[in-house]
Amino acid sequence: MPSIVVTSKLFGSMFGTEAMRALFSDDTLVQHYLDVEVALARAQARLGVIPAAAAEAIAAAADIGRVDWDRMSRRTQIVGYPILPLVEQLSGWAEGGLGQYCHWGATTQDIMDTADVLQLRAALDLIEADLKATADALAALAREHAETPMAGRTHLQHALPISFGYKCATWLSALDRHRERLRELRGRVEVVQFSGAAGTLASLGDAGLPTQTALAEELGLAVPDITWHTIRDGFAEATGFLALLSGTVGKIGYDIMLMMQTEVGEVFEPFVTGRGASSTMPQKRNPIASEMMLAAAKIVREQHSAMLDAMVQDHERATGQWHVEWHALPTAFIIASAGLRAARETLEGLEVRPEAMRRVLDTTQGLIVAEAVMMGLAPQFGRQRAHDIVYECCREALSSAASFVDLLMAREEIARTLSREDVERLADPANYLGSAAEMTNRLLQARQS
């Protein structure tokens, strides 16, 4: 077993999409460091803080292919942070000694935080695309099966009939709220960090705030209200969003796994030869994608817990809590991407089996609609008497092979009042879906407007 599954040659693609794993690779991260340094030089050159030639030289030199990784790794172990080792190399690459203007007035955390924001912005783009596709797949299922009856379950027992489309619509409602949350949090997360050693921009004097604004413009980021070196609610909100999203994805996966049980078989993950196969049981079709959806929910939750803990930082620069983010943020995004992609692929190709849903509904021979029968008898017998009659028939049905309808019709008072056709209609689960279809269609119409 590898120590870190997201970097494993065996498990890596299961626990993170290739695009998300690439986004949080060392090469991409260091490229973002270089991008921020170049943007800073250009912003300061535009303001006259450093020579224009220096910005041009720094931009021309900032090539990820020139990084001496062994040297940078050794120096990072000594310094404790990667920015000084990178700036040492970048300064040497720039021609004409103009590298001395690299990192002018900045502090390490300015560069690292802003690079993290650039990563998060790109990562949220990936999440947003898969989230939309997953929601669209659910909307299609909800629309198609708005009136497809199936057993609703409470405490893992048959409760009342629902429609499969209604079930999909409840999942969809959460995903749509997550899309709204994502739109809202971007403005709080996609913010530049440039504040200097203690957050006051003292090293740049009057040019400090103009530099901060110009850097934000260069990178397409917002300007913060004030320094956020040790105020980490933005990043914690990002992992909180991922935890909520992954929790919903996990719930969907859990439901699908239960519906895929051999005795149920109401839905199946898309068929791929060999997927979910057992090494000893050829008949197996294990819910592999749903298992990943559930696992992602549990793992991402722990990363968010770590991020909440990392929020409690001391004074103007953290003594270790910041380092927690270096592990938790990438892990949360990578794992969340795996769970969401599994949900997307599953729901886009989900095999829905209405005939199995009907078979399961009929398992109790009408008992699932005992409430419907009771309410149907109430006008003739009164609610309490109707309850007692139906209760007695239910108990007898559960302890014998007789059908619920047969037992009801065996009651003289019912046979005298209602025809068998009337009773069968009351005991048909498809006739007791309540407002499931209407609520489903209302949700679908609202999201189209």
Residues known to be catalytic: 155, 278
Give the DSSP H or E segment for 393. helix 383-398
Q: Are strands 157-163 and 267-268 parallel, antiparallel or unpaired?
A: unpaired
Judge residue 282's burial from the number of C-beta atoms within 10 Å of its C-beta, 0-12 exposed, 13-18 middle, 19 or more buried.
exposed
Asked whether the beta carbons of 347 and 138 are under 8 A apart, the reply is yes
Please tell me the number of Cα atoms within 13 Å of 247 on its side-chain side.
Answer: 13
Task: Give the list of residues 6+ apart from residue 121 with CB closer than 8 angstroms, or none.
Answer: 186, 189, 190, 221
Please tell me the number of Cα atoms within 13 Å of 439 on its side-chain side.
Answer: 16
Residue in the structure block whose two tokens are 């933005």 = 234
* Cα–Cα dist 283/397, whole Å: 34
Asked whether the beta carbons of 168 and 248 are under 8 A apart, the reply is no
Please tell me the number of Cα atoms within 13 Å of 184 on its side-chain side.
Answer: 9
* Cα–Cα dist 438/436, whole Å: 6
Task: Give the list of residues 6+ apart from residue 388 with CB closer than 8 angstroms, or none.
Answer: none
The count of other CB atoms within 10 Å of the CB of residue 230 is 17
The count of other CB atoms within 10 Å of the CB of residue 323 is 13
Task: Give the list of residues 6+ apart from residue 286 with CB closer than 8 angstroms, or none.
Answer: 276, 277, 278
* Cα–Cα dist 355/357, whole Å: 5
Residue in the structure block whose two tokens are 């092979």 = 401
